[in-house]
Amino acid sequence: MKILLAGDYSNYHRALSLALRRMGHEVTVASDGSRWMNTARDIDTSRPFRNKVGGLLLWVKLNTLLRSRLEGYDIVQINSPGFASLQPCRLRQLFDRLLARNGAVYLTAMGTDTYYIDFCLSGALRYTEWQIGDRPSPLALAQPDELRRWQAPVLTDYTRYVYEHVRGVVSALYEYNESCRRVVDPSRLAYAGIPIDTDSFTMAHGDEIPSRVKLFLGVHRDRMVEKGTDRMWAAARRVAERHPDKCELVFVENRPYREYVELMRSSHVVLDQLYSYTPATNALLAMAQGLVVVSGAEPEYYDFIGEKENHPIVNAIPDDEKLEAQLEELVLHPERLPEQARRSREFVVKHNRDEVVARRFLDFWARCR
């Protein structure tokens, strides 16, 4: 098939494209490279400036591309309703043209949209990046204007329009799947997970027991409160201050994708997210290299994917005291890391190998025809 993957977050569509190509399909990725990550793409849809001029230039570019490189596909998969950095009115026009000039258009639920905001605020989960229990999260308190922006009528109307007109929705995480279940008919919804090219990675340390455990935290500075990495870093620093001879900290921010993955590989334990029920791209990339991960991995997630035995992720929840104890346990018992690292890689190969995820997409597209 001829497939267009429009938009990208955290290299998701790029990784999916590589697997689909190996499986014999013709795939084009049109994205902004996940912005600062600068991931590979076939067509660059970056907004050159953040002002109105930048939006106009991108709009002209995309309309030109529609007449040459963005039409005639059997499948178009957009990464979110906001698959390009344009205002909702422009996005709707672009979306309608993709609908008119291609075969079936699908949505990958892999990022925040207005339905996901509603889900986070509904209390359906014990905690999210927007709400903890029945109280606003640190992110909601720090960025009330951002919350209002997601709930603005112009954005909610456009999001509803996209969900109503796509052929189907493929979710990347447990939370996004649960959000979509509230608004999408089950026949139009499938879970795929996050694709990881596990064949391109090997175990970073094998059976080595480190003399000093290296704790790694990679962040985008503007998203630390959203991901809870500010609290994770604070907990890691307290552990390192108590045990300077047993661990060291590595803090990396705003690095391009390739450089980031290389820096991660030298560590033993990777700290990822605090407000998630599910390990996301960063955690899965670490696990593919046989690194131990501290991230979201709630029982609901393991039940959802049908994994009854192998639970290798250190489940981080928004409890600073518990988080600190979990990190200290890892630092004081480095002899446990090799086995946990081995199980981490086995987990990703089973559930997130890129061709496994690609097959889920292909099966869903075939079912929705």
296-326 pLDDT, tens digit per residue, is 999 999 999 999 999 999 999 999 999 999 9
Count the helices and strands in the chain (H runs, E runs): 16, 14
Residues facing 27 on adjacent strands? 3
Residues of CATH 3.40.50.2000 domain(s) within the chain?
A: 2-195+354-368, 199-351
User: Which of 4, 7, 83 lies closest to 39 in space, CA to CA?
Assistant: 7
Per CATH, the number for 2-195+354-368 is 3.40.50.2000
Determine contact, residues 77/108, Cβ cutoff 8 Å. Answer: yes
List, in order, residues 6 or more apart from 46 with CB less than 8 Å away: 32, 33, 35, 58, 85
Q: What is the pLDDT of residue 255?
A: 82
> Mean pLDDT across the stretch 154-171?
97
235-284 pLDDT tens trace: 999 999 999 999 999 999 878 778 888 889 999 999 999 999 999 999 99
Distance CA 58, CA 86 (A): 8
pLDDT value for 38: 81
- Confidence (pTM): 0.94
Q: Which pLDDT score is estimated for 253? A: 86
pLDDT band, very low/low/confident/very high, at 58 (cuts 50, 70, 90): confident
Residue found by looking up tokens 């899965």 in the block: 284
Query: Which DSSP string corresponds to 103-121?
Result: SEEEEEE-S--HHHHHHHH
CB-CB contact of 273 with 229 (8 Å): yes
Is 292 within 8 Å of 21 (Cβ atoms)? no
What mean pLDDT is reported for the chain? 94
> Sorting pLDDT into bands at 50, 70 and 90, what band is 51?
confident
Whether the predicted pLDDT of 209 surpasses 80: yes
- H runs (alpha helix) in 36-193: 52-66, 88-101, 114-121, 138-142, 144-150, 153-165, 174-181
Q: Is the model's pLDDT at 34 over the cut of 80?
A: no
Q: Judging by beta carbons within 10 Å of its beta carbon (0-12, 13-18, 19+), is residue 136 exposed, middle or buried? A: middle
Report which of 131, 129, 146, 155 is spatially closest to residue 272, judged by C-alpha positions: 129
The fold adopted by the segment(s) 199-351 is: Rossmann fold (3.40.50)
**pLDDT over 80 at 35, yes or no:** no
Can you tell me the distance from the alpha carbon of 329 to that of 331, in angstroms, rounded to the nearest whole number?
A: 5
Predicted confidence at residue 195, as pLDDT, reads 98
